[in-house]
Amino acid sequence: MLYLKRTDSDDPDFVAFVRLLDADLAIRDGEEHAFYAQYNKIDKIKYVVLAYEDGKALGCGAIKEYEPGTMEVKRMYVLPDSRGKGIASQVLAELEGWARELSYTRCILETGLKQPEAISLYKKNGYQLFPNYGQYAGVENSVCFEKMVN
């Protein structure tokens, strides 16, 4: 049975997952990694969800305010040997629910074209493509999604 824990970016399991995620992204993004890394700092993220099964941490995700009414989904990761089991979808649903509880009506996110699994995850969970926002505007390797969660 999957257990979802709400925490923040100080949680050691989250910090460990972010290291694994960053290592994976460095390989996928190559020379572009430094550009993306500057926007993925985890200090002071108040809303983190961790997924556990039998006491073992399997994955994570986070949200942070982008603008009033909008949360940005950040730092989604599931251990490679735990993928394909719906864990990321459950983490994402928990994050969306938390956003609703906090009176946010929309979630947005950015992912890379070199992350087809992530693109598939977001489409499967009802996210729609929309124009690249903020620092991702005009970035060819970025793809942005949004979903109304109210």
Q: What tens digit of pLDDT does each residue of 9-53 get? A: 999 999 999 999 988 888 876 766 566 655 556 668 999 999 999
Q: How many residues does the chain have?
A: 150
The percentage of the chain sitting over the pLDDT mark of 70, rounded to a whole number, equals 90
Mean pLDDT of 129-145: 93
pLDDT at position 51: 98
- CATH architecture under which domain 2-148 falls: 3-Layer(aba) Sandwich (3.40)
pLDDT at 22: 87
- In terms of pLDDT, which residue wins out, 114 or 56? 56
- Using 50, 70 and 90 to split pLDDT, how confident is the model at 95? very high
Residue 122 near residue 111, CB atoms below 8 Å: yes
Provide the 10 A C-beta neighbour count for residue 85. 15
Residue 129 neighbours by CB distance under 10 Å: 12
pLDDT beyond 70 at 55? yes
Q: What is the dihedral of CA 99, 101, 103, 108, to 10 degrees?
A: 10
Calpha distance 97→93 (Å, rounded): 6
- Per-domain residue ranges of the chain: 2-148
**What's the mean per-residue pLDDT of the chain?**
92
Provide the pLDDT for residue 34. 62
Q: Which of 31-40, 93-102, 132-141 has the lowest mean pLDDT?
A: 31-40
